[in-house]
Amino acid sequence: MGPQKRPEHRYDQATDAKDLLDMIGKDVHDQVKNDADNYKSQLKGNLSEARFENEPNGQQTENDPCKLDYTKRLNGNNNRHPCTNLKGNANEERFSDTLGGQCTNKKIKGNKYIDRKDVGACAPYRRLHLCDYNLEKMGTTKSKARHDLLLDVCYAAKEEGASLKNYHAQHQLTNKDSASQLCTVLARSFADIGDIVRGRDIFRGNDEEKKQRKKLENNLKTIFKKIYDNLKDSTLQDKYKDEKDRNYYQLREDWWALNRDQVWKALTCNADDSNRYFRQTCNDNESLSHAIHKCRCKDKNFINETDQVPTYFDYVPQYLRWFEEWAEDFCRKRKHKLQNAIKKMSLQ
């Protein structure tokens, strides 16, 4: 379908919960982005400025996250591969229900135990093995912190996208009626990565995973302290200095708003040319269209890619996104059971 005239933004026009959440997320994003744009010169990362470890001086990276040789970042050490799990395996199965949903109050921040029942959010199967291990041990200098962080987040996103494409294709073989297109699945992980970067991820996991999550969060706090220390504008330093525990939440929020476009490009490096996002969000000259090429937006002539990210799930609370993801899976399974029941009754 070609571009359509941009309608007035009305939530009652949403076709389902997923559509509504994305619409709300866009409104939140627009407010955050408008504010963050004022600090672009000091917070926007540039991949061509990022430094690999123990490499000679001079430019070492390209500015395209899909063309970077990320192995140089690790000095050939596969122990920092983003998808590495607690057992050291970098090929963790995705969408598997062998562990069940992670719902207990000990594994999800904010959950409660009431009347002998765990109450709150449940981490979906996709989320149990997110590729972010490299972020736990990344290092950087103060002057390159915003660029180096972008490099490692893009590395995690690229491998997450490759992992999801592989296992999503396998999942679709046995679940052909699943409503989740690849772009939607990528958008959900994109939002989870955004929550991790901004320090508001609620997934904790088991005891060993909690230790790793703590290590990851502490390292991110260290990285953002370096970004803060390198700010040239005293007004900007004052904007972020009021946080007593030095989590740098507002700084992290603005950094993500200004760099999320590169992370989305990295996440979709391995998407197929025909993959498209479920909702018309790409806009140019007051028109709306689908992201129909590798889940990315194109200009009004549908030739060149733009820097617009088609999804706004990363501005929707994590527990709400997870509820919607679970609901989609529940409805699919319920449909199967209903069809099987009808089939059995017809044979009687």
Would you give per-residue pLDDT tens digits along the chain (348 residues)? 444 444 455 899 999 999 999 999 999 999 999 999 999 999 999 998 887 665 556 556 678 999 887 766 555 556 678 988 766 665 666 666 655 556 666 677 766 656 556 656 788 888 888 999 999 888 777 788 999 999 999 999 999 999 999 887 776 666 665 556 899 999 999 999 999 999 999 988 877 888 888 999 999 999 999 999 999 888 888 899 866 778 999 999 999 999 999 999 999 999 998 888 999 999 865 678 889 889 999 887 777 788 899 999 999 999 999 999 988 876 666 666 666 777 777 776
Phi-psi region of 58 (alpha: psi -120 to 50; beta: other; left: phi over 0): left
Domain that holds residue 160: 4-347
Beta bridge partners, 283, equal 288
Residues 6+ apart with CB under 8 A from 4: 280, 287, 288, 289
User: Total structural domains in the chain?
Assistant: 1
Amino acid occupying residue 287: S
Query: b/e map of 217-252 (b: 16 or more CB within 10 Å)?
Result: bebbeebbbbbbeebeeeebeebbeeeeeebbebbb
The domain that contains 148 carries what CATH number? Answer: 1.20.1310.20
Q: What is the pLDDT of residue 53?
A: 60
The CA distance from 114 to 155, in Å, is: 40
Look up the pTM and report it: 0.87
Angle between helices 207-229 and 145-174 (to 10 degrees): 140
Beta bridge partners, 123, equal 102
Terminal alpha carbon distance of the chain: 45
